[in-house]
Chains A and B, each alone.
Chain A
Amino acid sequence: MSEISIGIDVGGTHTDLIAIQGGRAVRAKAFTTHNDYSEGIFVALEAAAAEFDISVDELLANQARTFVNGNTIVTNAVTELKGAKVGVLVSGGFADIVRFGRGNRSNEFDDQLQVNLPQIVPQQCIIEIDERIDRDGNVIIPLERDQVAAAVQKLLEHGVDSIAVCFLWCTRNDIHEREAERIIHEISPDTFVTCSISAASVFREYERWMTAILNCFVQPPVNAFVTKVSAGLSDRGYRRAVEFFNGLGGVLGAEEVRKLPILLYSSGPAGGAIGAAALARRYGIENLLCGDMGGTSFDTTLIHKTKPLVAQRCRIGSFDTAISLLDIISIGAGGGSLIGLDARGVPKVGPQSAGSMPGPACYGNGGTLPAMTDCMVTMGFLRPDNYLGGRHSLDVEAAKAALLLHVGNAMGWDAEQTSAGAYNLAVANMANALRGVSIRRGYDPRKCTFVAYGGALPMFAAAICRALNITDMIVPNHSSAFSAYGLLEADYIRRKSVTVGWTVEDRDKLPTMVALRNALEEEVAAEIEHAGFERDAIQLLHGADFRYAGQLNEMYMDLDQDDILSEGPSGMRDKFDLAYETEFGPDTAWRNSGLMLVNYVITGIAIREKPHIEPVAIDPQEATFALSGTRPVFLPDVQERIDTPIYDSEKMTPGAWFDGPGIIEVRDTTIYVPTNARVERDGYMNFRLTL
């Protein structure tokens, strides 16, 4: 019997588990228990163990090979602004930067929406320290130990849980940040400390400081969770290290997570993207777009040459940070997105959401405003008696009444027309988001396969493809738990950067550059080794942020290890000019300007063992045997209620196919196959649509 890999995704509502043993995948679901997340985890583990017909102790002690967790603790703490009481030591003269950042103005027209950044650190807990380092790393004003000690005492009196040390130019010289950290440890060994240099060793103080402050802000709940889960699993016999999934799509060990919990931000959407990247490799597809639709949002990203794109300097909640995350665009289009009329009387979908409480009108929990789910049950895509595998029943009449009252009557539309209108708008919004991650970044969506997962998206995905002329689409088996599955496909990833500021034409400074690169290589490799990997199993990927002299924004480019040594026509400079023009168009490179390498970036990867999934043999045949009946469904693309064939996924054997229109019902997912499209269940048991 081969060992079992377990992925558990702790989401806002559900805790999804997927356990893979050889070719067999077991799914389990539990409600997320917000007071103590480990309760929900163990409920899901019980269910999974039962499927394998063993006890949880047997599963954990003897069968489980890996246990990877993804969770929304950090995302929630930042979104809800609930976290630790943080104290900040900051360079003298600059305390207010913690409060106002680089200015508060957003892109909203409405002056009433122009409000200040949320204040997560109380004013009296931001204390200035008289110290200063200049841009060349020289100590201009030395740090006074007594002043730091007094400030720390004051912060402790204010009852802070953790302290962020935020000094200017620590990227050039971290002596003051390190010294302050030592002083804090001496005075209060149990207080959690983050130096901004540890959170992000790149220049631009606001982003670096916010990263350190947010890290302190989210640390207590993450620390408590890590302790609880690790202890819980070890009590039940699990002997290996628990791993945690981060927003960059890799895993981290418990020790690193305790130090840099902020790295867990946005790990949920990253799970799906990593799963999709693995799927791309398995199919030999180079480029794909993937999408996930939840209750409140639609997340999409692009996988280029089987690798997800990475975005740098990401905004976390309202705050700019120096964190890199998978480049995922999120828009307010989910099952709970509200349908209404705007100031002109034109229908709109979202961005407000009904959430899960009270939820859409059809939930019958007191929600009176119509949401996307109301449209889907009105049109007949969802079975009122069998929503989410029968865990909810839906009130169609309440859905229709809400749609008419708030939108339909004003437009002169019936409930079905209203639903179809909202459906088409939601599809247009999601297609625009896909454009955002593809066309806007220079990739052609028509050359991509669209991988659609989550419970709701497969009802919309074919229409999105049609809007973008995408002809190939995959709905994974286990679509609704695909993010949990993605956890098992992750590698161990550590990304670090160092601010260099090297003008590449300045060959005299090359030795300094080489020394910095070597030191960074050593640092990344050592950290991964420390996490339990062999040195020669570690792959180091190089890259850098560049900008032309006179520009203020950098562009990232992958590098080979020794690219920095190269000169001349095929050298790094030309490589960058070319990459720049690929991004921004011909004749846009600043060939007359110098080129500066601003930050050097190394991504260390240690390959983890993945689930072994082999395709099974297929037997191509029309899927008439899987037909479970027909149902009148109002099809938004044909604007008519049509008796639509319904297929039972359980009966769709590998190779079974049919031509649309038709609907495939999976336990908690509904797949819509429109007219002039064909779907086939392939050897991986996924549903592949040709449009």
Chain B
Amino acid sequence: MNKQAQSPANAAYLATELDPITAEVVRCALDNIADEMAVVLLRTSGSPVLTEAKDFSAVVFDAVGRQVGSAGYVLGHLASSRIAIQKIIEKRMPDDLHPGDIFICNDPYTVGALHQGDVGVVMPIHQDNTLIGWTFTNAHLIDVGGVSISGIAPQAHDCFEEAIRFPGSRAGQNGVLNQEWIGFIEANVRVPISFINDVRSLIAACHAGAIRMRALVEEYGVATLDQYINYNIGLSEKAFRERIAQLPDGVAHTYDWVEYDGRGTADLYGLSCEMAIEGDQLRFTFAGVDQIDAFINATPSAVAGIGVITPIICQLAFDIPFNEGIWNCIEIDTGHEGTIVNPKVPAPVTNAHMETGARVGRMVNEALSIACSVSDSPMLRGRAAGQTTNSGAGAAWFGVKADGSLAIIFPLDNLVGIGGGAQTTGDGQDLYGFQTTLSVSFPDVEVHELVDPFFVLWRRYSLNSGGAGFHRGGLALDQAYMLWKADNFSGSGFLAAVELPPRGFAGGYPGGLSRSAVIRNSDVLARLKAGQSVSSPDKLTGNLDVLNAKVSNVPLREGDVYWASSSGSGGLGDPFHRAPAQVEQDLNDAKISRSSAEILYGAVVSEANGVFAINNDATWNNREQLRAALVPSKRRSLRDAAQVKQTSSVSIVHGHWNCAHCAADLGTTAQSWKTVIAPHRRALGELFDQVQTRVRTRHEQAVLLSERFCPQCASCLSVDVELDGVESTPPGFNFRAA
């Protein structure tokens, strides 16, 4: 991947005599254009992936290919669209471009798609034969050919098996789709009508954007509009640079693994992240193991979009209007070709976004939290957060309905029902989705049952899925359904975070993990025939077939129950600091179990008539004792330490790390404070089994929690995740020597 050069030249425009009010009016108008494109797409598309899960985007570019307006939704497409436009400009300009050209882009290797399922349309905007800008729309379509449905192919060994790829092909001219291409597409996808209809919607949205863009050019003139666009890009760049400059110079570093068990063994593929802060510039260096012959390899836009720009927007630049100026402050280095973070053809990539891309996003989450918590700015220190898990339980099904028609079903519920990371301002959001997917929702039960041959048994919170913490991580969804008046469907599954959890921050604990299973030969139909309830797993009998995380050709028969739960996110701060009243509320809200309250939160619980009560003083005493047993040097009150509200577990005082709660000295900042405190290690699997939290336990290279407690107040300062027998430097920050 090319390094993105910084372009401080834009700052020069800030000095020129332009009216900031007009600039703001122009900025809003450009974002509005993207918004209107999104509305056209939403209202005309037939894909639930688009209308409910909002897996689409609409972006406006100027004539030279700079991002100037965008409409929320999938933030990762900000990278896709940018690469697509740049490639089309390179390839087509100046002679091979005509007004009304329609370019189809879904090839991750050449035109920036996150994966082949995301089909993009790029159209130039002309006025009087002069190029004045570009529109980009993109949506995840339910089928793009290849060995598997839904555009996600767990079983494919190379990208040729995965799907058809459009490397920016001119599929239409003068605004109309070419019949030759329509014929080609119809012959290569399973649901041609819906594919072509959705491409038409993408084109209609581009048309709507072009009309508004022309009106804007008419109003201001090309030259003036260009000046205001430069000005706005400069403003966003300047604001973001000022923000970066508030972080200390140095490097935040962390690591993660991608899980893949699709070939019979549960393998882990390591990757690492270094985020260097150099003045007002951010430089990301990612490294990973060699690419593999399964769909996890990250495409360029999965790294830049899901991995980098999404956490940047949600965590650091959350209040700065987004445009090219933000990109100007960021460099991304993915090293040499042929790795999972920089693969080459023929590496398969259909799950790039939900695997390596999502894991890169988790690492950047953590790197940003680390860097923010050593900033002098109180606002930035407040931006630390538990990792957002970015891991759900995806599945897609294929079969024949009772009326003989073909059904392709891609229930997104468990890709939306993913918990969000705990924040310094409060608990993480439940059912937050991937960090990159704004505005996501899942269809109603009645929508599923009306459209698909499905019967939903239950839809509820996945107990204990939110990571424990002073602020708890967000919870995930637990849902079960079965075929209804249909039989013999076949499906694929793609889950992440089955063994390796999203991590908490500043003493917060990891979130719960994903799982999917089929209850085979169950008594569900017999129970229904007898009019008996089937609303929870304990009411059913049958053989629980826990599925591998990456799996294809899963049979689903009449009477089988498919049951899936997604991953919740990491907590923030020591759970022993959480107010007992809040733990009691969580317990009565059925968000945590009694075992979790007692073990992870140190609560003293009693129960009467199904209502739980937590004794405040007894809980604090219990917490003191439990921690004193772990930390013999403890000599300060944990309860007092918990009263010191901090957004981080450590602070910096005169070049020394201090416990943020009791001010214990943790050594000089020349070295990581984690080298000063010996960690307590325990197996994640055992702990989570004990507290009834979903996890698949690894027996070789077991997943360990590495907890570090303050030697004086015994507050939990960090909980890292390690693999038994694998050397790893705990996540941290190296200050650049002055």
Chain A residues lying within 8 Å of B417, measured Cβ to Cβ, are 103
Pairwise interchain contact B318-A550, C-beta atoms closer than 8 A = no
Pairwise interchain contact A104-B432, C-beta atoms closer than 8 A = yes
Taking the closest CB of chain A, its distance from the CB of B398, in whole angstroms, is: 16
Scoring A residues 341 to 378 as 1 if CB is less than 8 Å from chain B, else 0, what string do you get? Answer: 01111111000000000000000000000000000000
Q: How far is the CA of A535 from the CA of B24 in the complex (A)?
A: 56
Pairwise interchain contact A135-B446, C-beta atoms closer than 8 A = yes
Which residue among A99, A116, A421 has the maximum number of chain B CB atoms within 10 Å of its CB? A116
Q: How far is the CA of A101 from the CA of B320 in the complex (A)?
A: 30
Residue of B nearest to A427 (CB): B25
Q: How large is the interface on B (under 10, 10 to 19, 20 to 34, 35 or more residues)?
A: 35 or more
Pairwise interchain contact A109-B318, C-beta atoms closer than 8 A = yes
Q: How far is the CA of A429 from the CA of B194 in the complex (A)?
A: 37
The majority secondary structure among interface residues of chain A is loop
Chain A residues lying within 8 Å of B606, measured Cβ to Cβ, are none
Taking the closest CB of chain B, its distance from the CB of A436, in whole angstroms, is: 9
Which residue among B48, B201, B416, B432 has the maximum number of chain A CB atoms within 10 Å of its CB? B432
Pairwise interchain contact A102-B204, C-beta atoms closer than 8 A = no
Taking the closest CB of chain B, its distance from the CB of A642, in whole angstroms, is: 20
With A587-B200, A590-B197 known as contacts, the answer to whether A109 contacts B445 (CB < 8 A) is no
With A346-B23, A425-B21 known as contacts, the answer to whether A584 contacts B438 (CB < 8 A) is no
Partner of B461, one of A96, A206, A432, A550: A96
Binds B, one of A24-32, A122-130, A538-546: A122-130
Pairwise interchain contact B204-A424, C-beta atoms closer than 8 A = no
Q: Is A411 an interface residue (CB 8 A)?
A: yes
Chain B residues lying within 8 Å of A108, measured Cβ to Cβ, are 438
Binds B, one of A47-55, A56-64, A181-189, A551-559: A551-559
Partner of B450, one of A142, A203, A348, A584: A203
With A111-B318, A115-B426 known as contacts, the answer to whether A205 contacts B444 (CB < 8 A) is yes
Binds B, one of A15-23, A87-95, A303-311: A87-95
Partner of A344, one of B39, B236, B315: B236
Partner of B457, one of A93, A109, A112, A347: A93
Q: How far is the CA of A100 from the CA of B42 in the complex (A)?
A: 23
Chain B residues lying within 8 Å of A440, measured Cβ to Cβ, are 36, 39
Binds A, one of B162-170, B293-301, B510-518, B532-540: B532-540
The residues in B between 47 and 75 inclusive whose CB is less than 8 angstroms from any CB of A are 48, 51-52, 72-73
With A115-B426, A588-B200 known as contacts, the answer to whether A347 contacts B21 (CB < 8 A) is yes
Q: Is B28 an interface residue (CB 8 A)?
A: yes
Chain B residues lying within 8 Å of A130, measured Cβ to Cβ, are 532-533, 535
Q: Is B239 an interface residue (CB 8 A)?
A: yes
Residue of B nearest to A587 (CB): B200
Partner of B449, one of A96, A135, A142: A135
Scoring A residues 628 to 648 as 1 if CB is less than 8 Å from chain B, else 0, what string do you get? Answer: 000000000000000000000
Chain A residues lying within 8 Å of B317, measured Cβ to Cβ, are 109
Q: How far is the CA of A196 from the CA of B442 in the complex (A)?
A: 21
Pairwise interchain contact A425-B430, C-beta atoms closer than 8 A = no
Q: How far is the CA of A117 from the CA of B425 in the complex (A)?
A: 16
Pairwise interchain contact A428-B533, C-beta atoms closer than 8 A = no
Taking the closest CB of chain B, its distance from the CB of A98, in whole angstroms, is: 11
With A93-B459, A550-B197 known as contacts, the answer to whether A345 contacts B590 (CB < 8 A) is no
Q: How far is the CA of A207 from the CA of B431 in the complex (A)?
A: 18
The residues in B between 377 and 434 inclusive whose CB is less than 8 angstroms from any CB of A are 383, 385, 388, 416-417, 420-421, 423-426, 429-433
Pairwise interchain contact A552-B438, C-beta atoms closer than 8 A = no
Q: Is B625 an interface residue (CB 8 A)?
A: no
Q: Is A232 an interface residue (CB 8 A)?
A: no
With A96-B460, A100-B431 known as contacts, the answer to whether A548 contacts B438 (CB < 8 A) is no
Pairwise interchain contact B315-A123, C-beta atoms closer than 8 A = no
Pairwise interchain contact A344-B321, C-beta atoms closer than 8 A = yes
The majority secondary structure among interface residues of chain B is mixed
With A111-B420, A134-B484, A552-B51 known as contacts, the answer to whether A346 contacts B447 (CB < 8 A) is no
Residue of B nearest to A551 (CB): B46
Scoring B residues 578 to 599 as 1 if CB is less than 8 Å from chain A, else 0, what string do you get? Answer: 0000000000111000000000
Chain B residues lying within 8 Å of A111, measured Cβ to Cβ, are 314-315, 318, 385, 388, 420-421, 423, 435
Q: How far is the CA of A103 from the CA of B417 in the complex (A)?
A: 7
Chain B residues lying within 8 Å of A140, measured Cβ to Cβ, are 528, 531
Partner of B204, one of A100, A501, A588: A588
Taking the closest CB of chain A, its distance from the CB of B513, in whole angstroms, is: 20
The residues in A between 571 and 622 inclusive whose CB is less than 8 angstroms from any CB of B are 583-585, 587-588, 590, 592-593
Residue of A nearest to B530 (CB): A141
Partner of A169, one of B383, B446, B461: B446
Pairwise interchain contact A585-B484, C-beta atoms closer than 8 A = no
Pairwise interchain contact B445-A107, C-beta atoms closer than 8 A = no
Q: Is B654 an interface residue (CB 8 A)?
A: no
With A103-B433, A142-B531, A432-B28 known as contacts, the answer to whether A109 contacts B51 (CB < 8 A) is no
Chain B residues lying within 8 Å of A409, measured Cβ to Cβ, are none
Chain B residues lying within 8 Å of A473, measured Cβ to Cβ, are none
Q: How far is the CA of A341 from the CA of B46 in the complex (A)?
A: 41
Q: Is A114 an interface residue (CB 8 A)?
A: yes
With A105-B431, A130-B535, A346-B23 known as contacts, the answer to whether A112 contacts B444 (CB < 8 A) is no
Residue of A nearest to B207 (CB): A585
With A115-B426, A552-B451 known as contacts, the answer to whether A105 contacts B433 (CB < 8 A) is yes
Q: Is B44 an interface residue (CB 8 A)?
A: yes
Pairwise interchain contact B416-A206, C-beta atoms closer than 8 A = no
Residue of B nearest to A140 (CB): B528
Pairwise interchain contact A123-B589, C-beta atoms closer than 8 A = yes
Q: Is A97 an interface residue (CB 8 A)?
A: yes
Q: How far is the CA of A111 from the CA of B45 in the complex (A)?
A: 28
Q: Is B279 an interface residue (CB 8 A)?
A: no
Chain A residues lying within 8 Å of B699, measured Cβ to Cβ, are none
Pairwise interchain contact A346-B24, C-beta atoms closer than 8 A = yes
Q: Is B5 an interface residue (CB 8 A)?
A: no
Q: Is A204 an interface residue (CB 8 A)?
A: yes
Q: How far is the CA of A259 from the CA of B423 in the complex (A)?
A: 42
Taking the closest CB of chain B, its distance from the CB of A548, in whole angstroms, is: 7
With A112-B423, A205-B446 known as contacts, the answer to whether A344 contacts B320 (CB < 8 A) is yes
Taking the closest CB of chain B, its distance from the CB of A446, in whole angstroms, is: 12
Q: How far is the CA of A587 from the CA of B200 in the complex (A)?
A: 8
With A141-B532, A425-B25, A551-B45 known as contacts, the answer to whether A103 contacts B459 (CB < 8 A) is no
Q: Is A487 an interface residue (CB 8 A)?
A: no
Partner of A428, one of B25, B322, B423, B433: B25
Q: How far is the CA of A347 from the CA of B420 in the complex (A)?
A: 32
Q: How far is the CA of A460 from the CA of B612 in the complex (A)?
A: 57
Pairwise interchain contact A550-B194, C-beta atoms closer than 8 A = yes
Partner of A114, one of B36, B46, B432: B432
Chain B residues lying within 8 Å of A112, measured Cβ to Cβ, are 318, 383, 423-426
Residue of A nearest to B533 (CB): A130
Chain B residues lying within 8 Å of A132, measured Cβ to Cβ, are 528, 533
Pairwise interchain contact A116-B318, C-beta atoms closer than 8 A = no
The residues in A between 160 and 218 inclusive whose CB is less than 8 angstroms from any CB of B are 168-169, 171, 203-207
Chain B residues lying within 8 Å of A101, measured Cβ to Cβ, are 441
- Nearest 10 interchain pairs by C-beta: A93-B535, A93-B458, A92-B535, A110-B318, A130-B533, A102-B441, A550-B46, A344-B239, A96-B460, A114-B429
Q: What are 8 A-to-B residue pairs whose CB atoms are below 8 Å?
A: A111-B385, A112-B423, A168-B445, A344-B238, A348-B24, A425-B25, A583-B43, A587-B204
| B interface, CB within 8 angstroms of A | 20-21, 23-25, 28-29, 32, 36, 39-40, 42-46, 48, 51-52, 72-73, 176, 193-194, 197, 200-201, 204, 207-208, 235-236, 238-239, 243, 313-315, 317-322, 383, 385, 388, 416-417, 420-421, 423-426, 429-433, 435, 437-447, 449-451, 455-461, 484, 528, 531-536, 588-590, 611
| A interface, CB within 8 angstroms of B | 92-97, 99-112, 114-116, 123-124, 128, 130, 132, 134-135, 140-142, 168-169, 171, 203-207, 342-348, 411, 421, 424-425, 428-429, 432, 435, 439-440, 501, 548, 550-553, 555, 583-585, 587-588, 590, 592-593
